[in-house]
């Protein structure tokens, strides 16, 4: 194969938009890109693409048809920018947020596109950050613990409402008419590949992390029937498609999808991956002890190890889940950039916007500039980064954010910096938890939008005491999917060889500054006190407030 003149395409489906990249197989150089924002974005207030009905608290939905429109818009545009012909593209790969769950008919049609369900919220994609199934997740976890189900340890003993099974149970119980008519419950990347190829297969990595597929088995029919009468055959009836391993082909591109993309019929489509996991390949951070942090609207923390370790509070531990031959560990934070955006949109006064306009910068940059003028700890604040619940290590979607220490002299930049620091402290808590349970962390590689924030990047080095490498590409997710595609097409022997040739990172871009390490220590200790007080010892306080809120809203 002439790698210098062979190309793969990666499509990275994020929370708000999709990005396609055309990548040269020989060295991973990105030659063309295109981005498309989803028309319906995230529906968390109203069902805006249908009848506009108000949605319950903690819902986060998407419209599956937005994913297809994104393919049609991005792939041809990226090809045009790259100047690459369809005959030179050897394979295509996709990654998506997860578990973003599609409920589809037997032919793959989303239930939301069937007329009788068009105005039913449960017919739409349940996005990764949909927490409407928190009660179902609690029951799944408690019954598994009671029955001593072996698979529970692979999820740190805690089942998150972000996983697929709680969302499936939610539809079974809350919208039985939708559930009954559903032919397939599938993660978004598998549904997209189904539409691209006409072949429905389920990717092994997401199956392990999000669908509780461990050691070649799903939870037993007996367990599922004890969970809810009539739910025992959910895997057999609605998730029985074959499992395909990461970096292996699903099938060739269909005629319909070839028309969408401008690619050749039969072009190899590789098994889909979770977006964060594709980032790990894109920055060549797949060796043991190298953690990838994908920091954007939320964050995901990934690390591989040759051995299995029981790590409480992780989001999932899967053999071959990130790369073949290694145990892949996943943890995360349900809101990071979303918190900073929420604060900017909700609490920053008009004069800051006016000042930013005068300086020709955006408000985030202005707040960062002002915050960087402070000494560490000068604001006198510590925040908890639970504004969308806690994914790791507490796995409790009913926890809430807070900022402690505000006075009448507190300024917006003080709170903004405290929120950034809280996100770093939350990451440090996750790293400490891994290390305490036997998983080595020797380097951190950060990718994602928050690379642009110097408080965040240097702060991670100072708080963790570790060297921080960074992504050398803005399209690490799409690049990772393109790397998987290159292996599926036979350009490389395995993902390790491919990532070494095609992955992009700048090593040790940020190093710990000793005086900063010491200055952050008492702030982090205070964060951990608050973390344990509200997240472990007195969870009823935040749970009670959320219950009061939900009851008031329902009146």
The reply to whether the predicted model has a pTM over 0.85 is yes
Which band of pLDDT confidence, cut at 50, 70 and 90, is reported for residue 141?
Answer: very high
Report pLDDT for 554.
84
Give the tens place of pLDDT for each residue, 106-129: 999 999 999 999 999 999 999 999
CATH code of 335-428+512-552, in short, is 3.30.420.40
- Radius of gyration of the chain, Cα coordinates, nearest whole angstrom: 23
Give the tens place of pLDDT for each residue, 52-64: 999 998 999 999 9
For residues 281-286, average pLDDT: 94
Task: Give residues with Cβ within 8 angstroms of 158, minimum separation 6.
Answer: 141, 312, 313, 394, 395
Evaluate if residue 555 carries a pLDDT over 90.
no
For residues 452-476, average pLDDT: 96
Q: What is the DSSP string of 494-535?
A: SHHHHHHHH--EEEEEE---HHHHHHHHHHHHHHHHHHHIII
Lowest mean pLDDT, pick from 147-151, 391-395, 443-447? 391-395
For residues 10-16, average pLDDT: 95
Report pLDDT for 201.
98
Report pLDDT for 158.
87
Terminal C-alpha separation, the chain = 66
Which band of pLDDT confidence, cut at 50, 70 and 90, is reported for residue 70?
Answer: very high
CA–chain centroid gap for 427, Å, is 15
Cα distances (Å, whole numbers) of residue 536 to 287, 303, 341, 435, 543: 33, 25, 28, 20, 12
Which band of pLDDT confidence, cut at 50, 70 and 90, is reported for residue 376?
Answer: very high
Domain boundaries, the chain: 5-273, 335-428+512-552
Report pLDDT for 157.
87
For residues 260-274, average pLDDT: 98
Residue 309 sits at φ, ψ, to 5 deg, of -130, 140
From the list 423, 439, 351, the residue with the least C-alpha distance to 382 is: 423
CA 287, 289, 290 angle in degrees (round to 5)?
65
Q: Cβ distance 99 to 272 under 8 Å?
A: no
Give the tens place of pLDDT for each residue, 156-215: 888 999 999 999 999 999 999 999 999 999 999 999 999 999 999 999 999 999 999 999
- Residue 64 structure tokens: 């599956």
Q: Which CATH number fits domain 5-273: 3.30.420.40, 2.170.190.11, 3.40.50.150, 3.40.50.970?
A: 3.30.420.40
Burial environment of residue 196 by CB neighbours within 10 A (0 to 12, 13 to 18, 19 or more): buried
Report pLDDT for 508.
95
Evaluate if residue 323 carries a pLDDT over 90.
no
| Mean pLDDT for all residues in the chain | 96
For residues 80-101, average pLDDT: 97
Burial environment of residue 157 by CB neighbours within 10 A (0 to 12, 13 to 18, 19 or more): middle
Which band of pLDDT confidence, cut at 50, 70 and 90, is reported for residue 534?
Answer: very high
Report pLDDT for 325.
87
């Amino acid at each position: 194969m002439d790698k210098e003149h062979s190309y793969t395409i990666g499509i990275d489906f994020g929370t708000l938009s999709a990005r396609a990249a055309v990548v040269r197989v020989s060295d991973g150089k990105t030659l063309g890109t295109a981005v498309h924002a989803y028309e319906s974005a995230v529906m968390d207030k109203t069902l805006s693409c249908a009848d506009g009905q108000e949605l319950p608290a903690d819902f986060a939905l998407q419209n599956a048809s937005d994913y297809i429109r994104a393919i049609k818009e991005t792939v041809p545009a990226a090809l045009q920018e790259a100047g690459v012909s369809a005959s030179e593209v050897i394979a295509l790969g996709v990654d998506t947020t997860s578990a973003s769950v599609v409920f589809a008919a037997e032919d793959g049609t989303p239930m939301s596109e069937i007329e009788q369900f068009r105005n039913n919220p449960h017919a739409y994609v349940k996005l990764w950050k949909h927490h409407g199934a928190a009660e179902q997740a609690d029951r799944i976890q408690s019954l598994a613990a009671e029955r001593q189900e072996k698979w529970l340890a692979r999820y740190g003993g805690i089942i998150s409402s972000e996983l697929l099974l709680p969302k499936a149970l939610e539809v079974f119980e809350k919208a039985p008419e939708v559930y009954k008519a559903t032919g397939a419950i599938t993660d978004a990347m598998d549904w997209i590949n189904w539409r691209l190829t006409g072949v429905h297969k389920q990717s092994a990595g997401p199956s392990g992390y999000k669908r509780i597929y461990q050691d070649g088995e799903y939870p037993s029919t007996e367990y599922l029937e004890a969970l809810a009468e009539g739910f025992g055959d959910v895997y057999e009836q609605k998730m029985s498609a074959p499992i395909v391993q990461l970096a292996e082909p699903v099938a060739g591109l269909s005629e319909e999808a070839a028309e969408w993309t401008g690619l050749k019929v039969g072009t190899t489509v590789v098994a889909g991956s979770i977006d964060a996991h594709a980032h790990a390949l894109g920055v060549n951070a797949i060796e043991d002890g190298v953690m990838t942090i994908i920091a954007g609207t939320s964050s995901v923390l990934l690390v591989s190890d040759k051995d299995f370790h029981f790590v409480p509070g992780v989001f999932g531990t899967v053999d071959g889940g990130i790369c073949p031959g290694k145990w892949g560990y996943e943890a995360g934070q349900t809101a990071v950039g979303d918190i900073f955006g929420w604060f900017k949109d909700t609490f920053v006064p008009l004069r800051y916007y006016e000042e930013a306009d005068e300086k020709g910068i955006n408000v985030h940059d202005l707040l960062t500039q002002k915050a960087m003028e402070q000494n560490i700890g000068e604001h006198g604040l510590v925040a908890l980064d639970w504004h969308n619940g806690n994914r790791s290590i507490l796995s409790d979607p009913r926890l809430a954010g807070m900022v402690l220490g505000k006075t009448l002299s507190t300024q917006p930049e003080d709170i903004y910096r405290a929120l950034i620091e809280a996100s770093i402290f939350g990451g440090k808590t996750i790293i400490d938890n891994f290390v305490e349970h036997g998983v080595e962390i020797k380097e951190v590689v950060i990718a994602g939008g928050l690379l642009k924030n110097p408080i965040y990047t240097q702060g991670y080095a100072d708080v963790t005491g570790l060297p921080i490498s960074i992504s050398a590409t803005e399209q690490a997710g799409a690049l990772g999917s393109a790397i998987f595609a290159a292996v599926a097409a036979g350009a490389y022997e395995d993902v390790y060889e491919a990532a070494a040739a095609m992955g992009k990172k700048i090593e040790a871009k940020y190093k710990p500054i000793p005086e900063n390490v010491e200055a952050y220590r008492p702030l982090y200790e205070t964060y951990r006190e608050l973390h344990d007080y509200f997240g472990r010892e007195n969870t009823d306080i935040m749970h009670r407030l959320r219950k009061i809120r939900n009851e008031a809203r329902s009146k």
